[in-house]
């Protein structure tokens, strides 16, 4: 069977946008309109003749609208195989009429959760009859057209106008595929909400993930790769995917990746002094806290002025004019901020390609959640690294106890190191990074690179000595040998923060004591790959 003439349509929608226009188009083709509750009311207000679903079924809508369309006269009319004699006989025997078109969009479950409704209201917005009709119609797409998205109304009307009020099998197949995706997404959001509300099991047997395509990207990590951005469609999503873009070119794959890394790090400082993060290739290349955002940006930029070119910047305060002017003085790809004042936006307006993303309140760095990584044949899933430490968590393991300034720098360096690709070494002094070594296959090389970058920054700035002199150094994992530690000593570090836990801890501690270092263990590792 190919074309099916639409004689009867069942309409039941939560979103009334475009409903009247669709109803008029169907009426123009002589289609009988059958509808429920609020949808029937809206169609009548548009001047259309409508048959109530209760008239079709012989039963009233009941139980506060929970039972309306769950009836054999509805689902028989949707599921019957019309060229099957037994099905045709059953329809005749039970006075079941065929339904050729179903137009349904579901109760606004995600929106109800997002607005903070209580549990009873959320439960009432779990649609039962709607998904049942959608699945019945989609299963029987050989005979029935199913529309779940108002964006498809114009295409449906155009098809009816072009074919004398009929739908093609090709159109019905496409609409059926979209309908099954809609119910799968809807059910996944509900399952996700139940799982979020009851977090007794971190890793359930099945893990529903709801993604909605937000943008087709020009290309992926490289120009020969195709890419798209999919946003979490669940009610609890918060991040770069939900940030508002005020200006600039469309975000690319690498922009999204880097902006996400920048937001993840700046969130660690959401309750701290004004702080700026500069990220390149998903690694921080400068981080600083100061009395003002402009001062924080200047200190972060000074850590690595070369890598900052074309970078992504994130701040933990609404952007002001002076900070925006400093940022705009060099080429910057993306700026991420909770908000931006008029003066800052005016500065950026002159930089048409610069992308400005406003997030609202920064995410809670301690929030629960899962991270997933695609591998061949499956996914690796882990709880997100939301581990944080404070002064009370530190264990002094050397003879010399760190000073208060050294402890503050240790914690600052440790927070940054958590967000640097392993092996990670971070030098910090006075609330700013002095040198960052990332992604090396051995820890000593990361320490050398961080020290070299600090020395290079000092030469470029004309400082008398690199800022690693008198700094604290953080390592994302333990020092397996003393050599990495001694590299930090050569760079001028006076304090060390690391997880500890090596079988050679005693050797490393002895080397620290001999060098006069103060060293603390955190008992927590922060590998990042």
Decide if 394 contacts 497 (C-beta within 8 A).
yes
**Dihedrals phi, psi of 285, to nearest 5 degrees:** -115, 0
Structure token digits, residue 493: 């570090």
Structure token digits, residue 229: 């951005």
Decide if 331 contacts 307 (C-beta within 8 A).
no
Tokens 């779940």 locate to 148
The sign of the dihedral angle between the CA atoms of 146, 152, 157, 163 is negative
Tokens 């087709």 locate to 216
CA distance 509 to 515: 10
Structure token digits, residue 197: 């509300």
DSSP 64-119: TTTBSS-SHHHHHHHH--TT-HHHHHHHHHTTPPP--EEEEE---HHHHHHTT--H
CA distance 520 to 402: 8
Query: Is residue 281 annotated as a catalytic residue, yes or no?
Result: yes
Nearest to 338 by CA among 350, 352, 323, 353: 323
Query: Is residue 139 annotated as a catalytic residue, yes or no?
Result: yes
Nearest to 73 by CA among 95, 52, 90: 95
Helix axis angle, 19-28 to 153-162, nearest 10°? 10
Structure token digits, residue 332: 């910057």
Cis preceding-peptide flag for 423 (omega within 30 of 0): yes
Neighbours of 498 (CB within 10 A): 29
Decide if 454 contacts 305 (C-beta within 8 A).
no
For residue 10, the surrounding DSSP H or E stretch is: strand 8-13
- The active-site residue, picked from 5, 238, 281, 351, is 281
Structure token digits, residue 404: 């208060």
- The active-site residue, picked from 16, 139, 173, 351, is 139
CB-side neighbour CA atoms (13 Å) of 282: 11
Tokens 């940030």 locate to 243
SS3 annotation, 91-106 = HHHCCCCCCCEEEEEC
Which residues belong to the active site? 139, 281
């Amino acid at each position: 069977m190919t074309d099916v003439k639409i004689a009867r349509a069942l309409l039941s929608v939560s979103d009334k946008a475009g409903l009247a226009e669709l109803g008029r188009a169907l009426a123009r083709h002589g289609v009988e309109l059958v509808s429920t509750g609020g949808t029937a009311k809206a169609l009548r207000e548009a001047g259309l003749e409508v048959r109530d679903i209760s008239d079709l079924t012989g039963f009233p809508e009941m139980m506060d609208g929970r039972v309306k369309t769950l009836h054999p006269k509805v689902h028989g009319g949707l599921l019957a195989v019309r060229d099957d004699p037994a099905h045709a006989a059953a329809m005749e025997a039970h006075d079941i009429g065929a339904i050729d078109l179903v137009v349904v969009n579901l109760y606004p479950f995600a929106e109800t959760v997002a607005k903070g409704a209580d549990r009873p209201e959320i439960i009432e917005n779990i649609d039962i009859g709607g998904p049942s009709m959608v699945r019945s119609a989609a299963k029987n797409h050989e005979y029935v057209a199913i529309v779940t998205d108002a964006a498809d109304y114009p295409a449906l009307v155009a098809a009816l106008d072009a074919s004398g009020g009929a739908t093609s099998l090709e159109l019905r197949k496409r609409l059926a595929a979209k309908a099954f995706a809609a119910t799968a997404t809807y059910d996944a959001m509900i399952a996700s909400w139940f799982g979020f509300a009851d977090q007794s099991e971190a890793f359930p047997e099945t893990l529903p993930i709801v993604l909605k395509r937000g943008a087709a990207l020009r290309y992926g990590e490289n120009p020969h790769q195709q890419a798209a951005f999919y946003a979490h469609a669940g009610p609890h999503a918060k991040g770069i995917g939900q940030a508002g873009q005020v200006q600039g070119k469309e975000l690319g794959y690498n922009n999204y990746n880097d902006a996400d890394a920048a937001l993840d790090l700046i969130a660690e400082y959401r309750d701290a002094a004004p702080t700026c993060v500069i990220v390149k290739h998903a690694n921080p290349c400068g981080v600083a806290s100061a009395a003002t955002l402009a001062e924080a940006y200047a200190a972060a930029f000074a850590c690595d002025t070369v890598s900052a070119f074309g970078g992504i910047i994130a701040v933990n305060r609404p952007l002001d004019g002076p900070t925006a002017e400093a940022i705009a003085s060099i080429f910057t790809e993306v700026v991420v901020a909770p908000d931006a004042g008029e003066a800052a936006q005016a500065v950026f307006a002159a930089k048409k390609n610069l992308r400005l993303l406003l997030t609202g309140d920064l995410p809670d760095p301690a929030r629960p959640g899962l991270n997933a990584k695609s591998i061949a044949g499956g996914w690796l899933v882990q709880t997100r690294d939301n581990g944080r430490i404070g002064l009370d968590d530190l264990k002094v393991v050397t003879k010399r106890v760190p000073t208060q300034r050294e402890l503050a720098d240790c914690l600052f360096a440790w927070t940054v190191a958590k967000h640097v690709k392993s092996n990670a070494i971070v030098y910090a002094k006075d609330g700013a990074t002095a040198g960052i070594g990332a992604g090396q296959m051995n820890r000593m090389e990361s320490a050398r690179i961080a020290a070299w970058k600090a020395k290079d920054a000092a030469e470029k700035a004309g400082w008398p000595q690199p800022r690693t002199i008198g700094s604290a150094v953080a390592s994302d994992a333990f020092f397996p040998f003393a050599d990495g530690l001694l590299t930090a000593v050569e760079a001028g570090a006076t304090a060390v923060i690391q997880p500890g836990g090596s079988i050679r801890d005693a050797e490393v501690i002895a080397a620290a004591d001999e060098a006069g270092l103060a060293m603390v263990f955190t008992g927590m590792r922060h590998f990042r790959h």
